[in-house]
Amino acid sequence: MTSPNAASEEADDTLTIALAQLEIEAGNVEANVDRALEAVEQAAARGVDLVALPELFNVGYFAFDLYTRHAEPIAGETFSRLQNAATDHGIAVLAGTIVEDLAATDTVETPADEGLANTAVLFDADGTRRLVYRKHHLFGYESAESELLVPGERLETATIGGVTVGVTTCYDLRFPELYRRLVDAGAELILVPSAWPYPRIEHWQTLSQARAIENQCYVATINGAGEFEDATLLGRSTVYDPWGISLASSGDGPTLVTATVEPDTVADVRAEFPALRDRRL
């Protein structure tokens, strides 16, 4: 006999996510944040449980000379507006990332007490701050990020809709040990806000897929769209399942990519093909 609550119980075992591949204009913070808020509204209208934004969606990753001018504390305007949007629309939001002014943030969960960080915040559907992630690996190849910012140290997970979620950022994809730590902490879904440019399409796709395969978890990469003076973002935001299969993906233009995450699938894959259990440490 089927339980009268079977449908709701089944719904509780899945998490519908949307990757907001936003058009990002260098330094046009007001327009960029407005696009992010529109994406949250659109995702909520589609019945999505969680929407994720790209790396430095408000100022633009390659606008290095604007980092200091547009840096904000965690309680600043950008995160506050997205926190309110999460509450207003009843949807979890990965507001990720902005340039954070560490000295202006009341509670700094990093050894540095000043400087700037590349910071994401995960809000639940009630607007509660559930997770803060500051990018661990700062990019130095043809980039000023490593000169301008300080790296994060903490690595957290949070449960959203019954799914254990972790966060990394862009260049972190090249450092698999970070993902192992998240999986050991119980992560079933890892969100990766990014600003990945042309021409490294193969790196973007291969590294993301590998992180999903080797950790037998969902990996969702959220890239931006748009051109900067010296770079063009390649888009291709994608959700990979624990087998490394692409469930949903995009081209290089602005769009909303949606997919469903099932924690039971993570457990089933790990039981059927127990590679994680076979690790020799």
Q: Which positions are annotated as active-site residues?
A: 55, 135, 170
DSSP the chain: ---TTHHHHHHHT-EEEEEEE-B--TT-HHHHHHHHHHHHHHHHHTT-SEEE--TTTTT-TT-GGGHHHH-B-TTSHHHHHHHHHHHHHT-EEEEEEEEEEGGG-SS--SS-SSSEEEEEEEE-TT--EEEEEE-SS---TT-SHHHH--------EEEETTEEEEE--GGGGG-HHHHHHHHHTT-SEEEEE--PBTT-HHHHHHHHHHHHHHHTSEEEEE--EEE-SS-EEE---EEE-TTS-EEEE--SSSEEEEEEE-HHHHHHHHHHS-TTTT---
d(CA 88, CA 231): 35
